Amino acid sequence: MRHLIAGNWKMNGLATSLSEAQAVAEGAKAAEGKADVMICPPATLIERMRRATQNSPLLVGGQDCHPKASGAHTGDVSPEMIKDAGGSAVIVGHSERRTDHGEADDLVRAKAEAARRAGLTTIICIGETEAERDAGETLNVVSRQLAGSVPDGDPSDIVIAYEPVWAIGTGRTASEGDIQEAHAHIRAGLTARFSAAGSGVRILYGGSMKPENAAAILAVADVNGGLVGGASLKAADFLAIVEAASGG
Ligand code: PEP
């Protein structure tokens, strides 16, 4: 399965950052057919990024969405709005949303169902905290989040991102053995629930992926790409990861 490298810009990016996205879009052309490339900028930049990179294979996505299509929800953005702005995907259940906004699995699942309604690909994030790993709970947490956050029905519009919370933005990465164990567990959970369709769901690794470690992580079985935070902000770093995902 072709790797997907998705950049999560988090709350970073102004109009001046669009030149980075344009450089990534050029690199995405070189990777076309070998790896898929996406940037999820803040909602304010989705439409401008789409326009600035048109005629390139770069995919643009949102970082979160509300379950409703519209209504009295001040400050929220619906999946229909992301689609309308030119986005084709959305991240839901990122650990920063789970922690900062108290989002639990049932809300994450409702958001994923809403994204499906709007015709978006959904990147659903799961992963254990450091305390949960230390307590030997990693695989249980991952199973629980997978069961609770992923909607029923055809999973062909779903991507899972395994992101150990303690590795996000910390410079620490999970070992290749730990990544393999978690991804194999997630794959088994997906095929148990969705049969053959579960084997076609991409499972991304996220957590301090960078040019120096990308090739090794992307070579791990059942790693189908990466969700990249800090290293997605600089086109040169992000494209080095894309190159690793394209087979060198
Ligand atoms: C993320 O935000 O999903 C992430 C993995 O961040 P970082 O690459 O900075 O750890």
User: Is the pLDDT confidence value at 244 over 80?
Assistant: yes
Q: Atom of ligand 1 at shortest distance to CA of 208?
A: 10
Say which residues have a Cβ less than 8 Å from residue 75's Cβ, sequence separation at least 6.
none
Contact 77, 47 (CB under 8 A): no
Return the DSSP state at 151.
Answer: P
Name the percent of the chain lying above pLDDT 90: 96
Residues spanned by the domain of 98:
3-245
Question: What pLDDT sits at residue 128?
Answer: 96
Catalytic one of 80, 103, 163, 243: 163
Mean pLDDT of the residues in the chain:
97
pLDDT digits (tens, 9 = 90+) for 181-231: 999 999 999 999 999 999 999 999 999 999 999 999 999 999 999 999 999
Backbone angles phi, psi at 34, to 5 degrees: -110, -35
- Output the ligand 1 site: residues, CB below 6 A: 8, 163, 168-169, 206-209, 227-231
Distance 9 CA to ligand 1 centre (A): 9
**Which atom belonging to ligand 1 lies closest to the Cα atom of 125?**
3
pLDDT value of residue 248 = 59
Question: How far apart are the CA of 71 and the centre of ligand 1, in A?
Answer: 31
**Total domains, the chain:** 1
Which of helix, strand or coil describes residue 47? helix
Is residue 94 part of the annotated active site? The answer reads: yes
Nearest 5°: phi and psi at 43?
Answer: -55, -30
CA 208 / ligand 1 centre spacing (Å): 6
Contact present, 160 and 203 (Cβ < 8 Å): yes
CATH assignment of the domain containing 206:
3.20.20.70
Q: If you write DSSP's letter for every residue of the chain in order, what string do you get?
A: --EEEEEE--S---GGGHHHHHHHHHHHHHHTTTEEEEEE--GGGHHHHHHHTTTS--EEEES---SSSSSS-TT---HHHHHHTT--EEEES-HHHHHHS---HHHHHHHHHHHHHHT-EEEEEE---HHHHHTT-HHHHHHHHHHHHSPSS-GGGEEEEE--GGGTTSS----HHHHHHHHHHHHHHHHHHHGGGGGGSEEEEESS--HHHHHHHHTSTT--EEEESGGGSSHHHHHHHHHHHTT-
20 is catalytic: no
> Ligand 1 center to residue 207 CA distance, Å?
5
**Mutation test of ligand 1: which of 98, 165, 209 has the most ligand atoms closer than 8 Å to its C-beta?**
209
Of 3, 66, 80, 94, the catalytic one is 94
Task: Return the ligand 1 atom nearest residue 210 CA.
Answer: 8
Q: What is the pTM of this model?
A: 0.97
Q: How far apart are CA 121 and CA 200, in angstroms?
A: 14
What gap in Å lies between CA 9 and CA 6, rounded to an integer? 10
How confident is the model over 128-184, as pLDDT tens digits? Answer: 999 999 999 999 999 999 999 999 999 999 999 999 999 998 988 889 999 999 999
